[in-house]
């Protein structure tokens, strides 16, 4: 995964070449995403800068990728997992110039135009310049795992960048580029390319997916995403989702995916990583999971003071003032630094399972399968502004790529097509438990202490003193008189707590202007601000604190599984 920055102006009088020094300096603000190499393409109507993190074909695959005839110029941030299958299926031979998985984008465009992007299974954000047609095409993956921003400068030129920090000061209208869409400068149209019938509950009614089929689909997704020519690992918090991903990865870690498992992997030992305050629930549970799976476990600790020290850096990198996102991003940011120091450049992570299977504790209140399904779809649509942004940007702050097998598009088509009746919170052993269908699919793969562990938000699992310490820190820095000005100072998404006020103040220092503020939805947990959650239980409307442990009545109804370190 990498970063891209592009400037485009197809007007006849345009000449973007004098902007090269400016574009380079702005792209450098994203170099943490791609510390391995920088590449530039500069012409009169298109200027593309790429900062590369080399995961596949590290010796080659430099970007921007220019077609053999010189007419197509491509800059991609991401990974295309089905690139070899797509290459084999091309009707017309394409003269590939690299071994990069990303060059298939140019081949698909040459053969079928932007509509072919629907064939891609991967995480990506890219800009493609067609010099012959004087046309730029921009696209982002369906879930928005890879970040992408765009806007216009004072002279009407179109800018695009992987992170907002690169263009916020030149584009007063900076905005998020929507996931699952492509933009075509030839028509000025923004088109959705990822449509699925399962978005409508009626299309899923009565559809069942066996535990074996669900397990097979996820194991296949993990196998696809182990595509790597550099050392990799897994994030293992000891929660259900990361433990399942780690268990699946351990099945395939000894063989090299890129040659169809014919040869031994270059780095056959699977390493796993966790972080928490001393004595945290996650560190204890992660060790149980690692011992069972057989990974080389690295459990790191951090102090409250170390976490508080990096808050400004976290907000600058993750580009948000959302309370839950910052709470969870901070330990992940610290963990990424330790992972990078060990020479690992890619990790698998468990994001997406809660959205697909209704893992958040308020799903205990869902009244029926139709409401349950509608909420999972809404959560997936919003994921790019929360967990995807956290996992991507917190890890990429140190040049570590996070891949998310639960959001693999082929797996998603299996898991979301099933009737949500099978996903409803169920009783087991006298207690109600979320994600029972997923847990049942992986019976035998993990100890019961992990497989049936109660849901914890990441910011809770690293240690309950973490959230309490953040609140106390904010109270010391934000006085009552200053907090009273919140409505006047922050008319957009006015902070409701001193902690939220502090984060908003730090965000504004890096990202001034209303447009930047509008890229963050609400500024508090989507779980607690959800209209569906409020409809299911009116008490959610008054919860400004989005901590998972704030939902004590749900935790109380589900006693911890024997053998875990989970606290209620």
CA distance 215 to 269: 23
Provide the token pair at 288: 């149980």
Q: Which residues pair with 273 in a beta bridge?
A: 235, 298
Task: Give the count of beta carbons closer than 10 Å to the beta carbon of residue 493.
Answer: 17
DSSP-derived pairing of the beta strands 346-348 and 401-403: parallel
Q: 172: alpha, beta or left, given left = phi > 0 and alpha = psi -120 to 50?
A: alpha
CA distance 110 to 91: 11
Q: Which residues pair with 38 in a beta bridge?
A: 51
Token pair 């075509």 is found at: 184
531 burial via Cβ count (<10 Å: 0-12, 13-18, 19+): exposed
- Smallest CA-to-CA distance from 329 within 466, 453, 454, 225 is with 466
Q: Count Cα neighbours of 428 within 13 Å in the Cβ-side half-sphere.
A: 17
Local structure of 128: helix, strand or coil: strand
Q: What secondary structure letter does DSSP report for 103?
A: G
CA distance 130 to 504: 40
262's CB contacts (< 8 A; 6+ apart) are 255, 256
Q: Which residues pair with 47 in a beta bridge?
A: 7, 42
Work out the end-to-end distance of the chain between its first and last CA atoms, rounded to an integer number of angstroms: 38
Q: What are φ and ψ of residue 390, in 5° steps?
A: -65, -55
Cβ 12 vs Cβ 45: under 8 Å: no
Per-residue b/e over 355-377, b at no fewer than 16 CB within 10 Å?
A: bbbbbbbbbbbbeebbbbbbbbb
Cβ 416 vs Cβ 204: under 8 Å: yes
Q: Which residues pair with 428 in a beta bridge?
A: 431
Task: Give the count of beta carbons closer than 10 Å to the beta carbon of residue 268.
Answer: 10
Enumerate the active-site residues: 2
Cβ 414 vs Cβ 198: under 8 Å: no
Provide the token pair at 153: 């400068």
CA torsion angle 504 507 512 516 (round to 10): -90
369, containing H or E segment: helix 369-382
Local structure of 489: helix, strand or coil: helix
Token pair 């010391």 is found at: 476
DSSP-derived pairing of the beta strands 271-276 and 232-235: parallel
Cβ 54 vs Cβ 101: under 8 Å: no
Q: What are φ and ψ of residue 368, in 5° steps?
A: -160, 175
């Amino acid at each position: 995964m990498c970063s891209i920055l592009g400037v485009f102006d197809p007007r006849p009088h345009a000449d973007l070449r004098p902007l090269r020094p400016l574009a380079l300096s702005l792209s450098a603000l994203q170099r943490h995403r791609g510390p391995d190499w920088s590449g530039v393409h500069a012409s009169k109507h298109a200027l593309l800068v790429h900062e590369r993190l080399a995961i596949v074909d590290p010796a080659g695959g430099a970007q921007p990728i220019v077609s053999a005839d010189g007419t197509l110029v491509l800059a991609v941030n991401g990974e295309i997992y089905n690139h070899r299958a797509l290459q084999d299926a091309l009707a017309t031979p394409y003269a590939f110039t690299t071994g990069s998985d990303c060059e298939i984008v140019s081949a698909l465009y040459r053969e079928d135009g932007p509509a072919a992007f629907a064939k891609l299974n991967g995480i990506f954000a890219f800009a493609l310049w067609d010099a012959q047609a004087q046309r730029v095409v921009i696209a982002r993956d369906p879930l928005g795992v890879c970040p992408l921003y765009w806007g216009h400068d004072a002279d009407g030129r179109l800018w695009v960048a992987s992170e907002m920090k690169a263009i916020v000061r030149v584009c007063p209208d900076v905005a998020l580029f929507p996931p699952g869409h492509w933009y075509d400068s030839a028509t000025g149209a923004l088109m959705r390319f990822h449509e699925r019938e399962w978005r409508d509950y009626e299309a899923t009614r009565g559809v069942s997916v066996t535990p074996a089929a669900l397990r097979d689909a996820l194991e296949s997704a993990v196998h696809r995403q182990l595509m790597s020519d550099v050392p990799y690992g897994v994030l293992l918090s000891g929660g259900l989702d990361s433990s399942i991903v780690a268990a699946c990865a351990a099945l395939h870690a000894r063989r090299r995916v890129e040659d169809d498992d014919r040869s031994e992997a270059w780095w056959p030992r699977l390493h796993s990583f966790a972080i928490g305050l001393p004595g945290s629930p996650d560190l204890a549970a992660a060790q149980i999971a690692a011992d069972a799976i057989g990974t080389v476990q690295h459990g790191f600790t951090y102090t409250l003071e170390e976490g508080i020290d990096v808050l400004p850096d976290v907000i600058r990198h993750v580009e948000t003032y959302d309370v839950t996102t910052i709470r969870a991003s901070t330990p992940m940011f610290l963990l990424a630094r330790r992972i990078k120091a060990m020479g690992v450049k890619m990790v698998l992570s468990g994001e997406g399972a809660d959205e697909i299977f209704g893992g958040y504790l308020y799903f205990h209140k869902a009244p029926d399968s139709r409401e349950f399904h509608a909420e999972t779809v809404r959560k997936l649509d919003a994921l790019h502004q929360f967990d995807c942004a956290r996992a991507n940007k917190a890890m990429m702050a140190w040049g570590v790529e996070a891949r998310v097998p639960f959001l693999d598009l082929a797996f998603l088509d299996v898991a979301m097509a099933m009737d949500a009746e099978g996903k409803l919170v169920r009783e087991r052993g006298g207690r109600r438990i979320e994600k029972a269908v997923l847990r049942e699919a992986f019976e035998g793969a993990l100890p019961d202490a992990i497989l049936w562990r109660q849901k914890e938000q990441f910011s809770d699992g690293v240690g309950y003193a973490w959230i309490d310490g953040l609140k106390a820190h904010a109270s010391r820095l934000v006085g009552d008189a200053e907090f009273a000005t919140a409505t006047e100072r922050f008319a957009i998404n006015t902070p409701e707590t001193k902690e939220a006020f502090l984060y908003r103040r730090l965000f504004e220092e890096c990202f001034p202007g209303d447009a930047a503020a509008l890229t963050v939805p609400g500024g508090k947990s989507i779980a607690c601000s959800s209209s569906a959650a409020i409809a299911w239980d009116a008490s959610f409307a008054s919860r400004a604190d989005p901590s998972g442990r704030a939902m004590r009545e749900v935790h109380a109804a589900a006693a911890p599984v024997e053998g875990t370190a989970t606290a209620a």
